[in-house]
């Protein structure tokens, strides 16, 4: 019998600086486990405020950048040097400061910006090349997906009420009617998010204080996109937030003056993928 998804693990930090430090330690441990099991570390990440929270990985000798394979959880359909590009943001905040091989960061094909379907198919093909022959899975199994959440509860480019929330087959989908500009985007779908070994949401600041209770305390009532990210067992979803963002959340959480990696891992279910 298939086991139900694990409950989210919520960890609240007094400051975003403490959050960033513990998040870096968490990522390094996930990397170590993944490399020991299969010799590589597959990561997807979003844009927004998330890349800045990964600053704790810079100048970390324990990070084996040559083993990372990085994909974008969503991307705006703009040139890679455009101010709206998630790739440009991630380069500025993280990748240009670390020795990751450029070919290990998988970007959209700029020659296909005028054809959304071809662009999405092209990016999906990159996922297939990385995962299909190696893992032989119906959907890719990322070692770690790092996400933000919008004030409307969206994550990646999966917005409340949008038809893409029902997508059950594609790995990568496109949309041309994003309610948040720019309108044209590609995004990972729920089946991909929900087959990951680990998904970490990062949310900080008072701007998230009213949204987090709707996601964590009443997921079935509001059914916001972020609350629908529940990886299949034994995968696990984590929420790394600061106290300003979690002030109204009733959901059981780890909250202390010094949340540490050990405290997070004490709550963690063993992942056997």
* Tens of pLDDT, residues 37-89: 999 999 999 999 999 999 999 999 999 999 999 999 999 999 999 999 999 99
How far apart CA 60 and CA 37 sit, in angstroms, is 21
Q: Is 179 helix (H, G, I), strand (E, B) or coil?
A: coil
Q: Which of 92-106, 139-153, 228-242, 252-266 has the lowest mean pLDDT?
A: 252-266
- For the chain, first and last CA: distance in Å? 18
How far apart CA 258 and CA 15 sit, in angstroms, is 10
* Tens of pLDDT, residues 154-169: 999 999 999 999 999 9
User: To the nearest whole percent, how much of the chain has pLDDT over 90?
Assistant: 88
pLDDT of 261 = 55
* CA nearest neighbour of 95 among 50, 55, 132, 40: 55
* Tens of pLDDT, residues 246-265: 999 998 766 655 555 555 65
- When pLDDT is cut at 50, 70 and 90, the band that residue 270 belongs to is very low
pLDDT of 273 = 40
Q: What is the pTM of this model?
A: 0.93
């Amino acid at each position: 019998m298939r086991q139900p998804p694990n409950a989210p693990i919520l960890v609240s930090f007094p400051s975003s600086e403490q959050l960033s430090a513990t998040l870096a330690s968490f990522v390094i441990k996930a990397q170590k486990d993944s490399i020991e099991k299969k010799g590589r570390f597959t990561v997807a990440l979003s844009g927004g405020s998330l890349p800045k929270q990964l600053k704790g990985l810079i100048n970390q000798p324990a990070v084996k950048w040559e083993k990372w394979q990085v994909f974008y959880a969503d991307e705006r359909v703009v040139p890679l040097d455009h101010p709206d590009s998630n790739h440009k943001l991630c380069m500025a905040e993280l990748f240009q400061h670390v020795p990751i091989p450029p070919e290990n960061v998988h970007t959209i094909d700029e020659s296909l910006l005028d054809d959304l379907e071809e662009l999405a198919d092209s990016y999906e093909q990159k996922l297939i090349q990385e995962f299909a022959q190696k893992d032989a899975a119906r959907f890719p199994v990322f070692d770690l997906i790092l996400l933000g959440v919008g004030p409307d509860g969206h994550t990646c480019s999966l917005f409340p009420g949008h038809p893409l929330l029902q997508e059950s087959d594609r790995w990568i989908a496109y949309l041309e009617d994003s309610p948040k500009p720019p309108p044209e985007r590609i995004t990972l779908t729920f089946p991909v998010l929900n087959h990951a070994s680990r998904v970490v949401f990062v949310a900080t600041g008072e701007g998230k204080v009213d949204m987090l209770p709707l996601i964590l305390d009443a997921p079935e009532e509001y059914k916001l996109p972020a609350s629908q990210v529940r990886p299949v067992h034994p995968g696990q979803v984590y929420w790394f937030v600061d106290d300003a963002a979690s002030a109204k959340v009733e959901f059981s959480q780890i909250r202390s003056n010094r949340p540490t990696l050990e405290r997070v891992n004490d709550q963690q279910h063993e992942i056997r993928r």
